[in-house]
Amino acid sequence: MSHNPQDDFNTEQPDAIFSSILSECPELWDVVERFARELPSKIDELEQTARTGGADALQAHLTLLIEQGQKFGYPALSHEAARIEAAGADRTLDDLEYKLREMRLLADQIRAGITQEPAE
């Protein structure tokens, strides 16, 4: 019996992820909030590119997410995008779809972080 990676996918309510830059630069709240709110559409674009675009277009989307994760204080986003990027040509469509679902869960966690105050 083969292993289905979907069996490992956690469907529980995600824990919030907070931007690491807001504690140092709270004046960036509006910019970070806009990024977090737009992140699901960025993931939609990434999924569409994975289905219909070429490897170069997918690479460009992943590179952008890596950079944006760093810029907006979400190293987990950068890490996840880099992990998908590193898989490169070795990834299967099923594996890529699973990783994109993980990326969407991460986006949900980031959005949850902008709707609540971090614990001090």
CA–CA gap between residue 19 and residue 74 (Å, rounded)? 6
Q: How many beta carbons lie within 10 A of that of residue 32, not counting itself?
A: 22
Domain layout of the chain by residue ranges: 55-120
pLDDT of 4 higher than 70: no
Provide the pLDDT for residue 88: 67
Provide the pLDDT for residue 86: 82
Q: Which is higher by pLDDT, 88 or 16?
A: 16
Q: What angle do CA 89, 5, 98 make, to 5 degrees?
A: 55
Which residues neighbour 98 within 8 Å (Cβ) at sequence distance 6 or greater? 5, 6, 9
pTM for the predicted model, two decimal places: 0.80
CA–CA gap between residue 24 and residue 1 (Å, rounded)? 50
Q: What are the pLDDT digits (tens) for 76-113? A: 999 999 988 887 656 666 678 888 899 999 999 999 99
